[in-house]
Amino acid sequence: RPREELDAVDSVCPYCGVGCALTYYVDRSRGAIAFAEGRDQPGSKSRLCVKGRYGWDYAASPQRLTVPLIRKESSYPKGPLSADVRGDADNDRGRAGAGGNRSGGGRGAKLSKNGKDGRRKPGGLVDYDEVLPHFREATWEEALDLVARRLREIHAEKGPGAIAGFGSAKCSNEEAYLFQKLIRAGFGTNNVDHCTRLCHASSVAALFEGVGSGAVSTTYGDVANADVVIITGSNPTANHPVASSFFKQARRRGTKIIYVDPRASTVAEHADYYCQVKPGTDVAFYNAVMHEVIRLGLIDREFIKARVSGFEELVRTVNDYPPERAAQITGVDADLIREVARVWGEAKAGVIYWGMGISQHTTGTDNARCLIAMCSITGNVGKPGSGLHPLRGQNNVQGASDAGLIPMFYPDYQGVDREGTRRRFEAAWGTELDPNRGLTVTEIIGSVLKPDGVRGMYMLGENPFLSDPNINKVRKALGALDFLVVQDIFLTETAEFADVILPASSYLEKEGSYTNTDRRVQLGRKVMDPPGQARVDWEIIQDIAQRIGLDWSYSSPSEVFDEMVALMPSYANLRHDNLGLTGKLYPNEDPEHSDGTAVLFDERFNTDDGLAHLAPAHWLPAKELPDAEYPLVLNTGRLLEHWHTGSMTRRSYALDTISPIAEVYMHPKDAADRGLSHGQMARVRSRRGAITLHVRVSHREQRGNCFIPFHFREAAANLLTIDEIDPYGKIPEFKFCAIQVEAL
């Protein structure tokens, strides 16, 4: 149909933290989206990557959940735990993937195959024919009554600490706000968290400690004003493609790029300086750079004197890291470290952009502390072209964190353990609240396996069975829960463990606001109705709240947003009706006339005393080092075409066609040593399990290191990963564990 006969609906891309603005063109006669187009907005300037342009057809998948489901009585207990649940590294049933446990393991390996219509079916997804017989269809009334009754029973019998909720960064701000309010006000516990725990929790911990705010201090577009930028622990070409296009454009205009990463991603080809650090050595690298910046006298003395505390201790710490010593630890030539220090120290303005290669370590908070110090001692905060920017992975992980989906903070990072704050929220919500910090995602999984731990869980749009580390442990925990309700749009791997499954809405089917990595709050608009009996998420949360006795009667997402903003000073003045077509940055004094504040901390930091607080750190090795039996290091992450546990992108025809199979990326010599060649099948094992997948020989990997994306159920990378966590941010070590790769 010609464009003029299509309905144009302005919305936001649901995938990465860049949050590109786009318009969906809808053919109402077919009830389907015809195509998507980028829309002008200061942060994305009409650009889209392949996910934004083509990755929306999953919403029309025939596999959408359309009716509430309740587990059949005959399906209890939830099944015998299969052998790989016990973490037997020699058991190769793990290679069949992360299948549910009720059939006793060895299942789930559904490789791609052609359907009757000749179109390739998505591979590796939950086998509906196998799982659905364990459930029966129910009415909404019956399902919601059961959810409310069971959660209340567990609460009454075992206390508030026996309840926990996982919210989602895929949900809108309003849904995130209501979800955390339900867990806190309805069940009296702060056991509510979401996937920020798996991506930037350590960055938030370091930023909150260092500058008093968990958000970015400047936008990714500010790269245009920088003399130099450091991109570290990140592959933005794959994970933040439109932001990456801004970086490359800036370089063409003269901005120098320093790229620091163990993997030689395509960004390395665009960089002026590429430092291929060994995995897990970031603290040693940045301490050495600061050692040189200080030795060369390239620090900003005025800035340090007026606005920084802890400098003397930093000097003492980095004294232990002359470039020659750091070169031995990091593998980066000492002269290159000196040159990077000179370029960074001499720059008039510089930004550091970082990703999960920094944050997803047991030293993730220390890594981020080093980056805060790098900017603080050179005065690179609070002016155009300078600052700190953790690149957020999901389109609303910033917003979900802002809205309070964190166990230690109410909305806007207001501490639950601060009495005055708690009293304010108690007054606003009309109930007594828990004065103690709750458990994080990683702690909740561990708690379920303890006798007095969490017994009942509400899972909103999360799929920990593929996304969390050491998923045999996750499997054991999910199987051990007394009650699990999963609210999602597909039958995910986690939903296989549910007692009740509630069919929810995709972002295309509802209105809500989303906050991108730049702190830009944008409206996602409804494009189509949810399928069947599936419902909008905020209404489902409200129905459960009413059933457990909360007096909620919200009539729209904008009403929820108004309540939320009233409790969040950072979001002051924002309303749905003043976000406009391009959204607004927060903080924002005058949204009617201003885009908002791009650069923070021009006069003071958000800490109580207004100073940046340096927290120097010494380098510590990873928790599980390679040895004779497991001689290689595993790094996990994302691909351009896929997103997280693949429930959406693997149901997108274009995306799954481009990238249909799981692969282990290896250096050519590591592959050759094992008699492996490109495309061959290999077995990868760690102390926790084993998977089977194709080999991709790649010069981008350094010797001794492998990379596996975590999107693929049939070769679930998190069967291999270790569940050690960072002591501050409680984030797992997704970037370093010992493995072996063998030919089959």
User: Which chain residues interact with ligand SF4 by CB under 6 A?
Assistant: 13, 15-16, 18-20, 48-49, 51-52, 240-242
- Report which of 427, 431, 541 is spatially closest to residue 178, judged by C-alpha positions: 541
CB atoms under 10 Å from CB of 7, counted, come to 14
CB 39 within 8 A of CB 21: yes
The nearer residue to ligand SF4, 41 or 542, going by C-beta atoms, is 41
The nearer residue to ligand SF4, 548 or 658, going by C-beta atoms, is 658
Compute the Cα dihedral for 587, 593, 595, 598 and give only its sign. negative
Return the amino acid letter for 327: A
Nearest residue (beta carbon) to ligand SF4: 52
DSSP string of 300-312, one letter each residue: -HHHHHHHEE-HH
First-to-last C-alpha distance (Å) of the chain: 51
As separate numbers, helices (DSSP H) first and strands (DSSP E) second, the chain gives: 26, 30
CB of residue 453 to ligand SF4, shortest distance in Å: 37
Compute the Cα dihedral for 501, 507, 508, 511 and give only its sign. positive
Residues 6+ apart with CB under 8 A from 270: 247, 248, 251, 257, 259
The nearer residue to ligand SF4, 393 or 438, going by C-beta atoms, is 393
Return the amino acid letter for 181: K
CB of residue 54 to ligand SF4, shortest distance in Å: 10
| DSSP letter assigned to residue 224 | G
CB of residue 520 to ligand SF4, shortest distance in Å: 11
| Distance, CA of 627 to CA of 620 (rounded, Å) | 18
CB 257 within 8 A of CB 270: yes
| Distance, CA of 408 to CA of 430 (rounded, Å) | 20
Tokens found for residue 10 = 């302005």
Residues 6+ apart with CB under 8 A from 406: 180, 192, 193, 194, 196, 204, 413
What angle, 0 to 180 degrees and rounded to 10, lies between the N-to-C axes of helices 471-480 and 441-448? 60
Tokens found for residue 99 = 């299948």
The nearer residue to ligand SF4, 41 or 380, going by C-beta atoms, is 41
CB of residue 395 to ligand SF4, shortest distance in Å: 6
The nearer residue to ligand SF4, 56 or 273, going by C-beta atoms, is 56
**Kind of pairing, strands 689-697 and 228-232?**
unpaired
The nearer residue to ligand SF4, 169 or 534, going by C-beta atoms, is 169
The nearer residue to ligand SF4, 46 or 431, going by C-beta atoms, is 46
The nearer residue to ligand SF4, 13 or 720, going by C-beta atoms, is 13
Q: What residues pair up with 71 in beta bridges, in sequence order?
A: 135
Q: Is 660 exposed, middle or buried (0-12, 13-18, 19+ CB in 10 A)?
A: middle
161 three-class SS = helix
CB of residue 732 to ligand SF4, shortest distance in Å: 23
CB of residue 20 to ligand SF4, shortest distance in Å: 3
CB of residue 314 to ligand SF4, shortest distance in Å: 35
The nearer residue to ligand SF4, 14 or 689, going by C-beta atoms, is 14
The nearer residue to ligand SF4, 52 or 124, going by C-beta atoms, is 52
50 φψ region: left (φ > 0), alpha (ψ -120 to 50), beta (else): alpha
To which residue do tokens 């049933």 refer? 93
22: number of CA atoms within 13 Å, CB side?
Answer: 29
Q: What is the 3-state secondary structure (H, E, C) of 404-462?
A: CCECCEEHHHEECCCHHHHHHHHHHHCCCCCCCCCCCHHHHHHHHCCCCCCCEEEEECC
CB of residue 507 to ligand SF4, shortest distance in Å: 12
The nearer residue to ligand SF4, 223 or 477, going by C-beta atoms, is 223
The nearer residue to ligand SF4, 48 or 199, going by C-beta atoms, is 48
| DSSP letter assigned to residue 369 | H
CB of residue 14 to ligand SF4, shortest distance in Å: 7
Residues 384-410: b if buried by 16+ CB within 10 A, e if exposed? ebbbbbbbbbbbbbbbbbbbbbbbbbb
The nearer residue to ligand SF4, 46 or 112, going by C-beta atoms, is 46
CB of residue 181 to ligand SF4, shortest distance in Å: 28
CB of residue 46 to ligand SF4, shortest distance in Å: 11
CB of residue 621 to ligand SF4, shortest distance in Å: 34
Tokens found for residue 162 = 């026996």
Q: What angle do CA 632, 635, 636 make, to 5 degrees?
A: 140
CB of residue 25 to ligand SF4, shortest distance in Å: 16
The nearer residue to ligand SF4, 242 or 288, going by C-beta atoms, is 242
The nearer residue to ligand SF4, 8 or 620, going by C-beta atoms, is 8
To which residue do tokens 């187009």 refer? 37
| DSSP letter assigned to residue 732 | B
CB of residue 16 to ligand SF4, shortest distance in Å: 3
CB of residue 336 to ligand SF4, shortest distance in Å: 30
